[in-house]
Chains A and B, each alone.
Chain A
């Protein structure tokens, strides 16, 4: 897994790339929680995720819950088919705020 972090409007975007599995989900978790601990609104871009297991999903759930506790904004954007299949299996596709793009998310905030 590779990752990249960038800013867009009032959001930090963490882009995950490749397979998010048990060998690297601690790194994904660290990136997500670091942003939230700096009080940054966070979007996780899953467009380039080719595989995500339950440990990767757990990192997203932890991010979602941490953001909620800190009253920060959190969401997923551009979720790949592979990642969406797993979110649906976990019945989390209706729990996470999911948008097609950063622009769509920002528009929904307005």
Chain B
């Protein structure tokens, strides 16, 4: 098994205005390990939605907290980890919804589950935040 290498680690304020920069960095990071443009764009969508969920639901629009994003690479596998420092979220509420129900909102988790091979979400030890880990094979 290939040794995992960290491609990127950034810590940024949980503000919508920071997402343009985050998207650009993610796009560039996955390109450096040979991700094609089409897959790169999808990965950017998934990471952006994950960040949005943190801003809107974990921090509830109160942009005083930070988000840490790490991207790791091992062989053909990419692993994305997002950590926030908000109060523990209700994990039961983090789920994809029925797309037949045409209504605004609630698409973020659907995008993540469609794009990524797997993802898991949980609370940080000590109850001082939440994490989301997403994996994708780029073969």
Contact = CB atoms under 8 A, between A and B. Distances in A.
Interface stretch (A8-16, A18-26, A102-110): A18-26
B5 interface: no
A57 interface: yes
A23 B13 CA distance: 13
B108 A54 contact: yes
Interface residues of A, number: 23
A19 to B, nearest CB: 6
Interface of B: 16-17, 19-20, 23, 41-42, 45, 48-49, 52, 55-56, 99, 102-105, 107-108, 110-111, 114-115
B49 A95 contact: no
Contact of A82 (B16, B19, B41, B104): B41
Contacts, number: 58
B105 to A, nearest CB: 5
Contacts of B16: 21-23
B65 to A, nearest CB: 16
A91 B115 CA distance: 14
Contacts of A51: 23
Contact of B19 (A21, A57, A62): A21
